[in-house]
Amino acid sequence: IASRLPQVGTTIFTVMSALAQQHGALNLSQGFPDFDAPADLLALLDEATRAGHNQYAPMAGMPVLREAIAEKVQALYGVAYDVDTEVTVTAGATQGLFTAIAALVHPGDEVIVFAPAYDSYAPSVELQGGKVVYATLSQPDWRPDWDEVGRLITPRTRMVIVNSPHNPTGSVWTADDMARLEALLQGTDIVVLSDEVYEHMVFDQVRHESVLRYPGLAERSVVVSSFGKTYHITGWKVAYCVAPRALMAEFRKAHQFIVFTVHAPSQVALATFMKRPGWYEQLKALYQGKRDIFRQAISGSRFELLPCQGTYFQCVRYSAISDEGDRAFVERLVTEHGVAAIPVSAFYPDGRDEGVIRFCFAKSAATLEKALERLIRL
Ligand code: PMP
Ligand code: GLN
| Residue 195 Cβ < 6 Å to ligand 1 | yes
pLDDT at 349: 85
pTM for the complete prediction?
0.98
| Residue 310 Cβ < 6 Å to ligand 1 | no
Q: What angle do CA 269, 275, 276 make, to 5 degrees?
A: 95
C-alpha distance from residue 9 to each of 6, 12, 87, 241, 352 (Å): 8, 9, 33, 28, 16
CA–centroid distance, 302 to ligand 1, in Å, is 30
Q: How far apart are CA 23 and CA 20, in angstroms?
A: 5
Looking at domain 12-30+279-376, its CATH architecture is Alpha-Beta Complex (3.90)
For helices 92-104 and 245-258, the axis angle rounded to 10 degrees is 110
For ligand 2, residues with CB inside 6 Å are 11, 13, 30-31, 167
Q: How far apart are CA 241 and CA 292, in angstroms?
A: 31
Closest listed ligand to the CA of 240: 1
Phi, psi of 288, rounded to the nearest 5 degrees: -65, -40
Question: Would you give the DSSP letter of residue 259?
Answer: T
| Residue 234 Cβ < 6 Å to ligand 1 | yes
| Residue 266 Cβ < 6 Å to ligand 1 | no
Assess contact for 162 and 194: CB atoms under 8 A. yes
State the closest ligand 1 atom to the C-alpha of 13, by its place in the atom list counted from 1. Answer: 8
> What one-letter code names the amino acid at 297?
A
Does CATH number 3.40.50.720 belong to domain 40-273? Answer: no
Assess contact for 104 and 250: CB atoms under 8 A. yes
Which mutation among 32, 233, 347 tests ligand 2's pocket best, with the greatest number of atoms within 8 A of CB?
Answer: 32
State the closest ligand 2 atom to the C-alpha of 13, by its place in the atom list counted from 1. Answer: 8
| Residue 298 Cβ < 6 Å to ligand 1 | no
Closest listed ligand to the CA of 28: 2
CB atoms within 10 A of CB 11: 14
Q: How far apart are CA 331 and CA 341, in angstroms?
A: 9
Q: How far apart are CA 217 and CA 181, in angstroms?
A: 8
pLDDT at 326: 98
Phi, psi of 56, rounded to the nearest 5 degrees: -45, 130
| Residue 130 Cβ < 6 Å to ligand 1 | no
ipTM of predicted assembly, 2 dp:
0.98
* Per-residue pLDDT in tens (0 to 9) along the chain, 378 residues: 999 999 899 999 999 999 999 999 999 999 999 999 999 999 999 999 999 999 999 999 999 999 999 999 999 999 999 999 999 999 999 999 999 999 999 999 999 999 999 999 999 999 999 999 999 999 989 999 999 999 999 999 999 999 999 999 999 999 999 999 999 999 999 999 999 999 999 999 999 999 999 999 999 999 999 999 999 999 999 999 999 999 999 999 999 999 999 999 999 999 999 999 999 999 999 999 999 999 999 999 999 999 999 999 999 999 999 999 999 999 999 999 999 999 999 999 889 999 999 999 999 999 999 999 999 999
CA–centroid distance, 239 to ligand 2, in Å, is 14
Q: How far apart are CA 96 and CA 224, in angstroms?
A: 7
Q: How far apart are CA 363 and CA 361, in angstroms?
A: 5
Long-range contacts of 374-377 (CB under 8 A, 24+ apart): 374/26, 374/337, 374/338, 374/339, 375/297, 375/298, 375/301, 375/303, 375/337, 375/339, 376/297, 376/298, 376/300, 376/301, 377/337
β pairing state of 313-317 and 131-138: unpaired
| 3-state class (DSSP) for residue 156 | coil
The C-alpha torsion from 259 through 218 and 162 to 30, rounded to 10°, is -50
Q: How far apart are CA 322 and CA 355, in angstroms?
A: 10
Helix/strand number for the chain, H first, E second: 14, 14
CA–centroid distance, 231 to ligand 1, in Å, is 13
Closest CA to 300 of 322, 324, 316: 316
Closest listed ligand to the CA of 360: 2
pLDDT at 251: 98
Q: What angle do CA 169, 115, 298 make, to 5 degrees?
A: 20
Q: How far apart are CA 239 and CA 334, in angstroms?
A: 31
Closest residue by CA, ligand 2 atom 8: 13
Q: How far apart are CA 209 and CA 237, in angstroms?
A: 24
Which mutation among 17, 27, 29, 234 tests ligand 2's pocket best, with the greatest number of atoms within 8 A of CB?
Answer: 234
List the domain boundaries for the chain.
12-30+279-376, 40-273
pLDDT at 173: 98
